[in-house]
Amino acid sequence: MEDDSLTQSQAGGADGHALMNKELQSIAEQRKLRSGIVKLRHEMADEKEQLVQPDNAKLHVYFDRENAYFKQIQFPRELCNDIEAIGDITDMTVEQAKKFRKDHVSHFDLSTFVGKLRMQYAASRLGHEEVDTEDMEEEDRNAVDFDWSALGEKYSHLFRTAPTVNFISGSLDVQPKEKKARQRRQREDLGQAVKPTEIINTQQEEKSDTDKRIAALAQVLAKRSPVNYFELLVNPESFTQTVENIFDFAFLVKDGRAKVYVTPLPDSQPIAAVAAAPRVAQGQAEKEKLQCVIQMDYNTWKSIVEIYNLREPAIPSRPRPSEEDPKARRGGSKHAPATSSSSSSS
């Protein structure tokens, strides 16, 4: 039991709060520790220009001071300050290394470096003593061996890497895939080319639905002209086809094949009639074209059908899928606007 309690006390207590024992470090000591770390950072910031120079070794001094502070840390707040100090030292070390590479690599003399290594690790064949080979003659210098074992023992820890084994064909349990011979595709014989016996005239295009409706409307207008505008175009059985008829009639007016005019008071009814294309005499200016916009919604269409007592459409109804009440499609709204514009020439 005593061993268990001692182990828990060393680990920071059974509750899991390691290194946070207030009995080990007072608030004043914590404040002093934080102040020391902040002061260390300020000193490094003031001396940054000198510390990042390649020939300046003072960063080691600051690093040792930071390590001394780290050994005293007991709480996370001081640990955060310590991490920031370590970050500053790391950044300055990286900058110093970059400057060393730029400013000092050009001054590196390989022959001098090899000579110093030879002087330090050369061993006489007669004894293992440090030998200065700089002042030796060529024959005496050849009599001195280089102690490769001593060099390897001193610096081998810098090259400790785990050996790896690689195989040319990958793992031993994987069979190499056999390469299949590439086969050329044989060209298919398409047979003899045959010229078409009949050439279809591609210039002729099938008439669209709009063109067909306009042609049918022109025929009805030619038979009933002049006729009331609404009695001609309003279809009492279909709101959508009424909008289409008004739209199609606008093309007849635009082409000069139909016209719209209003009768005198007191009736003032819109009349649709056949019109010949206007002839413009030489030197005479064309008449100004007038335009009007007709707004047709569902309620207006129903009112026109009732006022004019329309029962049969002047333009036969076209086969369509079952039509819904526009008010039902729009969630019961009062209006389902359909706007059509037509041009009228007077």
Residue 242 is given by DSSP the state: H
Strand 227-228 vs strand 338-344: parallel, antiparallel, or unpaired?
Answer: unpaired
- pLDDT tens for 30-72 read 999 999 999 999 999 999 998 988 888 899 999 999 999 999 9
**Residue 96, pLDDT above cutoff 70:** yes
Count of CA atoms in the C-beta half-sphere (13 A) of 156: 6
What's the mean pLDDT in 134-147?
59
DSSP string, 52-115: TSTT--THHHHHHHHHHHHHH--SHHHHHHHHHHHHHHHHHHHHHHHHHHHHTGGG--HHHHHH
Q: What percent of the chain has pLDDT over 70?
A: 67
- Highest mean pLDDT: which range of 184-188, 201-205, 327-331: 184-188
DSSP string, 183-213: PPPPPP--------SS---TT--PPPHHHHH
pLDDT at residue 343, rounded to an integer:
37
Q: In angstroms, rounded to a whole number, what is the distance separating the alpha carbons of residues 104 and 296? A: 89
pTM above 0.85, yes or no: no
pLDDT at residue 124, rounded to an integer:
46
Q: In angstroms, rounded to a whole number, what is the distance separating the alpha carbons of residues 130 and 179? A: 62
**Which residues are registered as beta bridge partners of 293?**
341
What's the mean pLDDT in 4-9?
37
